[in-house]
Structure 1
């Protein structure tokens, strides 16, 4: 097995285990076993658990950005429709059988208070989402403050859907977003 193959196996196993069981609950031995690599190989590629968590979160960030931007692009050219596509993306995600909330919120909740590196990664991911929302809002001509409001709706929907196991949180967030957008977007 090549180094790249071993790395991929470790990260795939870690991503699945961390998302299903939690970051703190998964030990290196369990991860080694799930990935099918030796403990020596695991530690040679990832000297510390934080290294694996960081790599998993980097993968999740890329997946999130690709999925979200794809959903927005598929929504067409209308700025309002593109902005509301964010909530359609959330609804589809919340309906997935394996949905267990936002991996970043989960990581911050488990590790953010004691691991500054994980906290920084989570903050950077959330700032990236807020920046993306700001770009979508700017295209509507609405004031920039709307981006923070719509981001909070999306973040709240993620937490609510995870806790309640109810994908309708995205529908409610979308309806609230529609009200905010309609109030903020200048009408000709």
Structure 2
């Protein structure tokens, strides 16, 4: 059962990341998930549920990628976080943040708004914990979101800028 749910979540995530939230038909999503329509609806009874399952799966993958095995030194940890966010942008999010895109596609959906809030809050909290910057989550959110927004235009320059600003935050505590 767990393998089927993971397979569905992974396929849905790929489909939404590649084609957005409005374009893929239910048949497209079924094909991306690699299951029958009956199985897809068993695990995700509505399109909204499909989006939530895909985003929860993406959240778990993202957090694992960004935070696994960080250095102990706060500055080094923050540098690695920024590098991994940039790597994610290059490999997984060339169209921008999928969480923001989901809310943009359904701005009145409270479940998606909550998922976006939870994702960004957890990202900031984990970064603060890894860098000893508890209480500076808003600063860290601004740096990470700024990196994500400027990365498509500035790439390596955006990463270096985020690192410089991050060191200022750490040293200025």
TM-score (norm 2): 0.84
| Aligned-pair Cα RMSD in Å | 2.4
Question: Structure 2: where are the runs of 5+ without partners?
Answer: none
Equivalences for 1:61-140 in 2 at 5 Å? 61-70=59-68, 73-75=69-71, 77-96=72-91, 99-111=94-106, 113-137=107-131, 139=132
Alpha-carbon distance, 1:169 to partner: 2.1
Q: 1:165 to 1:19 in 2, by over 3 A?
A: farther
Q: Structure 2 CA distance, aligned partners of 1:29 and 1:123?
A: 30
Question: Structure 1: where are the runs of 5+ without partners?
Answer: none
TM-score (norm 1): 0.78
Point out the structure with max Rg over C-alpha.
1
- Residue 157 of structure 1 contacts residue 173 of structure 1 at CA under 8 Å; is this kept in 2? yes
- Residue 125 of structure 2 contacts residue 134 of structure 2 at CA under 8 Å; is this kept in 1? no
Q: In the comparison of the two structures, how many residue pairs are matched?
A: 173
